[in-house]
Amino acid sequence: MIIEFEISNFGPIREAKKISFEATPDEHLSDYYIAEPIPGLRLLKLLIIYGANASGKSTLLEAIEFLRELSLNPLNDKNDELEFQPFLFDSTSKSQHSSLQIAFLVNKVRYNYHVQFTRLYILSERLQYYPKNRVADFYTRTTDIENKVSKISFGSTLKVNNKELAIIEGNTLWNNTVLGAFNKTNVNIPALNTVIKWFNETLMSSVRPTTNLFNWTSDKVQDDPTFKTDILEILKKADIQIDGIDIKTTQRELDEITLNRLAAWSISEKQKNQLLRDKKITTRDIFFKHTVKEEGTATSYELINSMESRGTLRYYGLSGILNTLINSNKIITIDELETSLHTDLMKHFILVHLANSTFSQLAITTHNLSLLEDKENIRNDAVWFTEKKENGTTDLYSLADFDTSVLRKGASIINSYKTGKLGAKPDLGSIFISKNHD
């Protein structure tokens, strides 16, 4: 589970800002919202991030995804640049380093990972852990900028011989993290494998409005009968009248012209080689069974996925995410969860996660204010806001940060937000546009 995440000089976030999953002492809805993976550490299973457009909401999720990529998929050439932008609305930040820091749990052991970087190189890197509830260095890394080489020092609690250190150090290009280099190195260090596995399997890739969840969920439905059964139960409880899924695949031989054209469009060398070898393509159609009642008689009909509404297909894709949260301990971030979903269906998705997951965490951004109307289902420490200040920087704060002088006990959260007491609202001008042109 994630404990906290800190970010600075990344996109619109210039000064260091921290978002935390640690729960306040408030016991409201603790049975649903709070997991306690180790004694005394109460972590939230849900964070909801609000804010105006361009206020930095998505940047928070993008930064987590960026750190995941740094750890798993290093650059291949020391002249390649990291794909991010520092703060650009002043004269100094673009020449300064950026920083990401995450505290997380793996097998009930806490890890702190901190990396400083520019677009050209990793300046420094440090991984700490608490093997016996006391902090120890896993490794530290510094970079000689002039010579473009990295220096790594492993802590005394790890068994890394000189040969293994030399291999890892030799593969850690100045624009790669140690984790990323190790992930591509033929060296076996179990303790490092544990951290890599957390970034790869527990911290899942971020979900955006354009992410193709339909194919992701369909792959799992097709391969795993138990997963399919679970998805059908989730869909039935979502009141979209689906009680069956049928996946039909067909293979078609390809003529030479079509084969070469598809091979040229292939997204990977592996896909291209497979096409040229098999000389055929497999297509897949998804059919959903709908049961409707008319005058007391139930009749079933099948619709191919292309005939379903965008909302139905969106929730079908999200049902795979929801089932993953429930049945395995994962961390998933979703940008604009409300995309194509009815307000009640979005709320249902969140509540199903809270009621059924154990140690999974979900962080979402949204513009859907209806969640703030239902105080019976919202904890203040689970709600966060991003606000764009006049100088273009992002401010980040929690609903739990407001004292009773701003948010009285029992006061309406949504009314406080609408009236501007909580900030994080767009500052809109007049609706009238001048038509005078000199």
pLDDT above 70 as % of the chain: 98
More confident position, 427 or 77:
77
- Residue 438 is predicted with a pLDDT of 59
Would you kindly state where each structural domain of the chain is located, as residue ranges?
1-204+330-424, 213-319
- Residue 314 is predicted with a pLDDT of 95
Task: Say if domain 1-204+330-424 classifies as CATH 3.40.50.620.
Answer: no
> Quick check: 437 pLDDT over 70?
no
DSSP code per residue over 196-260: HHIIIIIBPPPB-TT--HHHHHHHHHHH-HHHHHHHHHHHHTTTS-EEEEEEEEEEEE--HHHHH
- Alpha carbon distances (Å) from 409 to 288, 385, 406, 423, 424: 47, 19, 10, 18, 21
Which pLDDT tens digit goes with each residue over 145-190? 999 999 999 988 888 888 988 999 989 999 999 999 998 888 888 8
- Alpha carbon distances (Å) from 90 to 96, 343, 392: 11, 39, 9
DSSP code per residue over 292-322: EEETTEEEEEEEEGGGS-HHHHHHHHHHHHH
CA dihedral (330, 336, 340, 343) positive or negative: positive
**All residues at 6 or more sequence positions from 427 whose CB lies less than 8 Å from its CB, including other chains:** none
Which pLDDT tens digit goes with each residue over 232-271? 999 999 988 899 999 998 877 777 777 777 777 765 677 7
pTM attached to this predicted model:
0.90
